[in-house]
């Protein structure tokens, strides 16, 4: 049970820190960074709160532990998972930003990102989208909720703010095809969101199933 909770804490912390890096370091999204960051935390709490408690913050874990809701023996692994998630997110941001032609873009058309960077961001946020859908709309622990539409919609919004300038922010194979038909994308590049989005959705389902996140849970830590 604890290893599964640690994976959830890693995922939530990763997407929170990844959103911080991608928005704050982007001149086009920096003004909306606070909204994107807050929304990123919100969707990950919706997605993982029923399972791990949705801390994604060592200070929160400390507070919950001192309140007696989490044993110190579990708090330390929580901290490790959170810090690893943060470092992994920072590495991903550095890789993506470093792949841009001319470094960090100075305007909407100032940079072109590499194919690996586009594949990575499409994979990550399609993973996040399907992960949130499965946890808020199909899990017993969140059954009967009225927030799943908000969580799912904001996942797309966060992705658009964070990585839209990198890949176009499809996170949906149908959207990718529609964009090409409308002339908003290149036919030669449509394979990028198709491959990354199907892979991201598939991996999210595997994580959800392997951690048994759909099962009923007692009160989170």
Token code pair at residue 106: 């100075």
pLDDT digits (tens, 9 = 90+) for 82-93: 999 999 999 999
CA atoms of 176 and 180, how far apart (whole Å): 6
Distances (CA, A) of 101 to 43, 110, 112, 187, 219: 32, 8, 5, 22, 48
Is 216 part of a structural domain of the chain? no
Token code pair at residue 145: 């909720």
Is 49 part of a structural domain of the chain? yes
CA atoms of 48 and 52, how far apart (whole Å): 6
**Are the C-beta atoms of 125 and 157 separated by less than 8 Å?**
no
pLDDT digits (tens, 9 = 90+) for 50-73: 999 999 999 999 999 999 999 999
39 falls in which pLDDT band (50, 70, 90)?
A: very high
As a whole number, mean pLDDT of residues 205-220 equals 78
217 falls in which pLDDT band (50, 70, 90)?
A: low
Q: What is the C-alpha radius of gyration for the chain, rounded to an integer number of angstroms?
A: 18
Is 39 part of a structural domain of the chain? yes
Q: Which residues of 136-173 are buried (b: 16+ CB within 10 A; e: fewer)?
A: beebebbeeeeebeebbebbbbbbbbbbbbbbbbbbbb
Is 144 part of a structural domain of the chain? yes
Query: Structural domain of residue 198, as residue ranges?
Result: 2-210
What is the number of structural domains in the chain?
1
- Sole residue written with tokens 């049970």: 1
The pTM for the full model equals 0.87
pLDDT digits (tens, 9 = 90+) for 153-203: 999 999 999 999 899 999 999 999 999 999 988 999 999 999 999 999 999
- Amino acid 218: pLDDT: 41
Is 6 part of a structural domain of the chain? yes
With left for phi above 0 and alpha for psi between -120 and 50, is residue 86 left, alpha or beta? alpha
Is 90 exceeded by the pLDDT of residue 115?
yes
As a whole number, mean pLDDT of residues 91-102 equals 86
- The set of residues, in sequence order, having a beta carbon less than 8 Å from that of 136 and lying 6+ positions away, is 46, 47, 142, 145, 147, 148, 151, 152
- Amino acid 106: pLDDT: 43
Is 220 part of a structural domain of the chain? no
Q: What CATH number has the domain bearing residue 35?
A: 1.20.1080
Is 81 part of a structural domain of the chain? yes
Is 21 part of a structural domain of the chain? yes
């Amino acid at each position: 049970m604890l290893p599964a909770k640690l994976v959830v804490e890693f995922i939530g912390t990763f997407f929170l820190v990844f959103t911080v890096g991608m928005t704050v370091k982007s001149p086009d999204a920096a003004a909306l960074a606070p909204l994107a960051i807050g929304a990123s935390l919100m969707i990950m709490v919706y997605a993982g709160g029923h399972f791990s408690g949705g801390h994604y913050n060592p200070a929160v874990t400390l507070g919950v532990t001192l309140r007696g809701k989490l044993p110190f023996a579990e708090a330390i692994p929580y901290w490790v998972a959170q810090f690893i998630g943060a470092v992994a997110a920072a590495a991903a941001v550095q890789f993506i930003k470093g792949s841009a032609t001319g470094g960090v873009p100075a305007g909407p058309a100032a940079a072109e990102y590499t194919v690996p960077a586009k594949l990575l961001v499409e994979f990550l946020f399609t993973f996040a989208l399907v992960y949130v859908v499965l946890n808020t709309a199909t899990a017993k622990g969140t059954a009967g909720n009225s927030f799943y539409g908000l969580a799912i919609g904001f996942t797309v919004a966060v992705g658009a703010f964070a990585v839209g300038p990198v890949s176009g922010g499809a996170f949906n194979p149908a959207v990718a095809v529609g964009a090409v038909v409308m002339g908003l994308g290149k036919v030669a590049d449509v394979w990028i969101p198709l491959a990354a989005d199907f892979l991201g959705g598939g991996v999210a389902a595997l994580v959800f199933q392997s951690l048994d996140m759909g099962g009923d849970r007692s009160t989170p830590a």
